[in-house]
Amino acid sequence: MASDEGSRSPRPAPPPPARSVASPLQALDLNLLVAFEALYVERHVTRAARRLGLSQPAMSGVLARLRAMLDDPLFVKTPSGLKATPRADALAGPVSQSLAALHMAMRAPVFVAAESRARLVVGGADAVLSVVMPWVAARVLAEAPGVQLEVLPLDPGRAVAALDAHEVDLALSVLPSLPMHIAGRLLFAFERVVVMRPGHPMAGLGWQLEDLARWPHAVVRFAGSARSDIDEVLEKNQLSRHVALLAASFLGVVPLVEASDAVAVLPRPFAAALARAGRVSWAPLPDALAGPRYPMRMLWCASRDADPALGWLRGLVLEGVSATVNP
C-alpha cells in the first residue's frame, strides 16, 4: 500500500506570540508623578529640579522617562519657559488630586474626641468593669458625646479569643501570659478577700481556715467546675466547704451574699468598692490562702497600637484605674 505522507499538505507555522503592550500604569513610578507636578507648576526644568532636590540632568532624565512612558512631549520649550501640551493639561488635575489624597492617607490619623462617632467595646470580668468603667464612661460622655462605648461582661479566659474575633477592642483580664500578637499593660495587682454581709457574725473578725469551712459559700462560675484552689487548700487541711450558691458573674454573687450568711471570695478592689457603698464587709483570707497577687491587665491587638481612638480609650482606662483602684 502506498504511503500518503507525500500527499499531506505541510502544517502551517504557529503564529508568533502576541507582543504585550505595556500599559503606562505598569511602569508607573510615584516619583514620576511628583516630578510631573513639579514641572507643571514651575514650567522650568532647573527650578523643578531645585524644588525636588535633584540635579538638572537628573530632572531632564525624569522628563525623558515621562515622555517615553506617555508617548507625548508633555512640555515644549518656549522663550518664556516650558509650555504644557494638551495631554499634560489633562493629566495635571488628576495627578495633583491623587498625590494630595495619597499624602492625606499616609499622614498619621488624628482622633478628635469631641467630633468622633467611633464605637468602642470594652470587655472584662464585671468585678473590674463595675469599679473602673463608670469613671471612664463619665469621661467619655463629657469629652466625646458622639462616641458609643459598649461594656461587655467577658469570661477572663476568653479575653484573647474575643480580641481575635473583634468582639471587643479592649479587654481587662487576669492572664498569666500573653501571645505575641496581643499587647498588654498592667493596670494593678490585687489579692482576694473574703466578703460577707455587714451584719454577718464574722464581720470585723479575723478569718481562719476553719471559719471558711463553717460558712456556706457563694461562688462565681464562668464555665466548668466551681472547684478552685480554695477547695484544694481546705482538703489538705482535712476541711471542706459547702458551695451553696452559684452565679455566672461577680455582680450576681453580691445580692446572694447581702441576703444571707453565705460568704464569697472576691477581688479586693471590687470588695473595697462594695464596702464603701455599705453593701458588704470584707476581711483578708487566712494566710494559707493569701497566695500571690493577681495581675489585672489591659489587653488589645498589637496590630492596633497606632489606632488613635483606641489609644485615647486606653489612656482613659489608665486614668480611671488611678482614680478608683489606686486613689
Which of 282, 286, 264, 262 is CA-nearest to residue 272?
A: 282
- Give residue limits of the domains in the chain: 25-106, 115-187+296-324, 192-292
Using the structure block, give the residue that is written with the C-alpha cell 478577700.
Answer: 193
DSSP per-residue string spanning 237-248: TT----EEEEES
pLDDT at position 107: 66
Q: How many residues belong to the chain? A: 327
Among the four given CATH numbers 3.40.50.300, 3.40.190.10, 3.40.50.1820, 3.40.50.740, the one describing domain 115-187+296-324: 3.40.190.10
pLDDT at position 3: 40
Among the four given CATH numbers 3.90.1150.10, 3.40.190.10, 3.40.50.740, 3.90.1860.10, the one describing domain 192-292: 3.40.190.10
Neighbours of 190 (CB within 10 A): 21
Give Cα 20 to chain centroid, integer Å. Answer: 45
Contact 121, 154 (CB under 8 A): no
**Residues 170, 126: Cα–Cα separation, whole Å:** 14
Residue type, 101: A
Fold matches, 25-106 and 192-292 = no
Q: Which CATH number applies to 25-106?
A: 1.10.10.10
DSSP per-residue string spanning 195-241: EE-TT-TTTTS---HHHHHHS-EEEE-SSS-S--HHHHHHHHTT---
CA angle at 99 for the pair 96 and 103, rounded to the nearest 5°: 140
pLDDT at position 224: 64
- Average pLDDT per 10 consecutive residues for the chain, totaling 327 residues: 42 50 55 86 88 88 88 89 89 83 71 91 93 96 95 90 94 88 92 94 92 94 78 93 91 94 94 94 90 88 90 95 85
Q: Which three cell numbers stand for residue 69?
A: 512612558
- How far are the Cα atoms of 90, 201, 206, 228, 285 from residue 210, in angstroms, in the given order? 89, 14, 11, 17, 12
